[in-house]
Structure 1
Amino acid sequence: MGEVQSLAPLPQATLAGWHAFVATGNQDLLAPLLSDHIVFRSPFVQSPIPGRIATLLVLTTVVQIFENFRYHREFTAGSHDAALEFSASIGKWQLKGIDLITFDEQGKMTEFEVMVRPIKALQALGEEMGNRIGPELIRLKQAAAAGG
């Protein structure tokens, strides 16, 4: 067991910005935290969702859907990777999840992966996301696949 390495200063600042965004839902706080080349990995679809616009859309929508959202623990792996454990509810469903975040040298988020359990809560989340942004997300993914 080596010594525990904490996040580098720039990723730490980005994470502080992320917590401010989660607390307020203010999209203007989120945009500067994301790399232009960020990849979002959803718990619903196998293929990653590339791009800043799609990631902004997903994350700003999720914070509107989750009720009683709160972070519990934070883990770091090296100076540019963090895992955040959270809980929330959607209607009658309680859920737990993990956000896995990778940062670049400038401290911007380059990967954001979400895992959620149990399956019933995940299904409720998927349904709600689909109702709100499904068609728009499909369009953004197709545009990214076409190179722009």
Structure 2
Amino acid sequence: MTSFRAAVEAGDMDAAVALLAEEVEFHSPVVHSPYRGRDAVAPILHAVAEVFEDFRYVSEVGGGEDGVDKVLVFRAHVRDRQLEGVDLLHHDAAGAIDRLTVMIRPLSALQAVASAMREKLA
């Protein structure tokens, strides 16, 4: 189990943020351009912890030729929408997460996430 997964499952978003590289790149399922830097990503991760209900990782897959990529599959709900998603993690040479990409399905759940996150971050 990755340290990131353990932190998120424990609801310790400060610990999850501490695992990010200073110059982490976060690719959101909602916006086109990535967020760059731990300071930009931290409030997003904290908001996700409040918006997603019944969040749980259901699978973890190691991958990549260099062994530094992980795929974490999750399920949750937001408002009245059930969702499935993946966190794609890439680690730098020091072991910090330098790229985090999130994908969510179905579209109606992603729209609910976008709306709830917009309200939370406003």
TM-score of the pair, normalised by structure 2: 0.91
Please tell me whether residue 64 in structure 1 is matched to residue 50 in structure 2. yes
Single out whichever of 70-79 and 124-133 deviates more from structure 2. 70-79
The answer as to 2:118 corresponding to 1:130 is yes
Structure number having the greater strand percentage: 2
Aligned CA RMSD, in angstroms, stands at 1.4
Identity of aligned residues (%): 37
Give TM-score, length-normalised by structure 1.
0.76
Give the partner amino acid of 1:104: D
Q: Give 1:108 shift.
A: 0.3
Give the Cα–Cα distance (whole angstroms) in 2 for the partners of residues 73 and 30 of structure 1. Answer: 18
Q: 1:23 aligns with which of 2, 5, 9?
A: 9
For 1:1-148, list aligned pairs within 5 A: 15-16=2-3, 18-78=4-64, 79-134=67-122
Aligned residues: 120
Structure 1: any 5+ residue segments left out of the alignment? 1-11, 135-148
- Alpha-carbon deviation of 1:83? 0.6
Superposed CA offset, 1:83-112 (max 9, x none): 111100012100000100000011100000
